[in-house]
Chain A
Amino acid sequence: MVTHTRSARTARTARALNAPRPALVESHADGTPRRVNRQDVGVLREEWRVVDRWWTEEPVHRRYFDVVLESGQNTVVYHDDDAGSWFTQRA
């Protein structure tokens, strides 16, 4: 007999708080976000870079943007320069 594989087995492990989540972002030519998760960016409040762990095999090169969307929602997105993709995260 074989087990039903749909049931995920439980394993209680520690996990990161505030882990980044993939985001759908369209950007301008200068790399600043234009639309985030299908909503237009109203205001770009702040921008900063995080470069860390460059001495390891998993270096971090991120360009963060604190934006206010047209809906009034305040969100932080970043572009992972190594992976070439966008994520949202509470910074």
Chain B
Amino acid sequence: MIAAIVITAFDLRAALRLRPRLQTLPAALAPLPGTEPLVGSVTGAAEAQGVRPGMRLGEALALCPGLELVEQDPAAAEQAWEEILRRLEDAGFAVEPAEPGTVFFDSKGVERLYGGLEPALKRALAAAGSAWDPRAGAAERRFAALAAANVARPGQALIVSDDRTRSFLAPLPLQLLPLERSRYEELEELGVRTIGQLAGLPGGAVSERLGPDGRRAWGLARGEQDGRISPRAVAQPLHETLEFPEAVGNELTLRRGLGVLLDRLLARPERAGRPPRKIAVWARLVGGASWRRTVTLREPTADPARLRAALSAKLAELPAPALKLRLEVSELAEHTGEQLELVAAEGEVLQGRLREGLRQVRAAVGAGGVSTVVEVAPWSRIPEARALLVPREH
């Protein structure tokens, strides 16, 4: 079975870790500067007063004048999420994180370890940490597991058997489906409010009205197969931090600091000569907020000058003086060197380059970024029935 662990409003909870008092008060994540003024995740108290995630800031404040706006802390959220994933991995769960606050794993391997599905889910909930109020769901389908986890109570595990999947999904709200916000509104205007109502519509009509995303949501609503779990490769943390005695806003000083961090990072023996492919620059800003930018290198390199050139440009985007600067290697390339070619590459060398290219694409756009075309019915007279795009995991 596929299991899902969900921590609702994870980004807000992570931002409130240093201010737990606000968790019981009406609070919402503030919009990022320069973005549309929409509130992010909200606390239960704010929701009770009518504030909803994605609502316009003005409307939210009119509904709830005492609403506390919490500054987003993406670095803290990312760090907390990584800690949770590591705890789950340490407990034997091969996890596939979907987004911060949502993770999947296949229960097949751990059921025997923990003596059944339910004890395994309880162990996963304990590994995630009770302070986060995690919820667990398990089903034969990924979406059904996610829906079960979303409707479970904090600390509870909900298991949906395959024959009950459709009847379980039917009364649930449409908002559980991965659709654009405007699509939910469009469907609600048409009187479609539950997953069951959507599943009852003819597929052709849904495709025509809502496009491919709608067709996919319709398939999920009907309990169709929605992909297997591909666990992430466990990465070794590699980072270096520099703490400044006082806040630094001067770009030259920051660049020097970055240079020092880069030299330290490249000297780490764990790197084993492999060049970094993806590097993140992180800063703790004056006032407590955090800032983070990730750089994916087109060509992995351990050349300090090239790395400095790629990373220094990001420092110009720093919105406030920094108290702390950190450099993290998110991903290392597999090879240790590259020979220039004398003759045109072919065979194994060419395959190796292709694999490297695919790894670069994956590093840049995520695991679902590379697909294979699989011919399923090349003789079909219906063009879209001839071939499928199947995501390539390895």
Interface residues of A (CB under 8 A from B): 1-22, 50, 52-53, 58, 60, 80, 82-83, 85, 89-91
Contacts and interface: CB of A to CB of B under 8 A. Distances in A.
Given A14-B374, A18-B383, A80-B204, 19 more contacts: A1-B41, A2-B41, A2-B52, A4-B41, A5-B54, A10-B366, A10-B368, A11-B226, A12-B393, A13-B226, A14-B227, A14-B388, A15-B388, A17-B389, A18-B386, A58-B202, A83-B208, A85-B208, A90-B383
B101 interface: yes
A17 B142 CA distance: 22
Given A5-B53, A10-B368, A89-B383, A16 B388 contact: yes
Contacts of A80: 204, 208
Given A14-B389, A16-B385, A52-B382, A83 B54 contact: no
B384 A11 contact: no
B227 A13 contact: yes
Given A1-B12, A6-B54, A10-B368, A52 B373 contact: no
B8 to A, nearest CB: 5
Contacts of A21: 211
B387 interface: yes
Nearest to B173: A5
Contacts of B230: 12
B54 A4 contact: yes
- Contact size class for B? 35 or more
22 contacts: A3-B6, A4-B40, A5-B53, A10-B178, A10-B366, A11-B98, A11-B143, A11-B227, A12-B391, A14-B389, A15-B216, A15-B388, A16-B384, A17-B386, A17-B388, A19-B384, A20-B383, A22-B208, A53-B382, A80-B208, A83-B205, A90-B383
A22 B142 CA distance: 29
A67 to B, nearest CB: 16
B204 A1 contact: no
A18 B53 contact: no
Contact of A9 (B29, B98, B389): B98
B9 A4 contact: yes
Contacts of B179: 8
Interface stretch (B42-50, B106-114, B282-290): B42-50
Interface in B29-69: 29, 40-44, 47, 52-54
Interface in B333-360: none
B239 to A, nearest CB: 26
Contacts of A15: 212, 216, 388-389
B20 interface: no
Nearest to A21: B211
Given A50-B381, A58-B204, A85-B208, A1 B98 contact: no
A11 B178 contact: yes
B44 A1 contact: yes
B170 interface: no
A82 B391 contact: no
A6 B388 contact: no
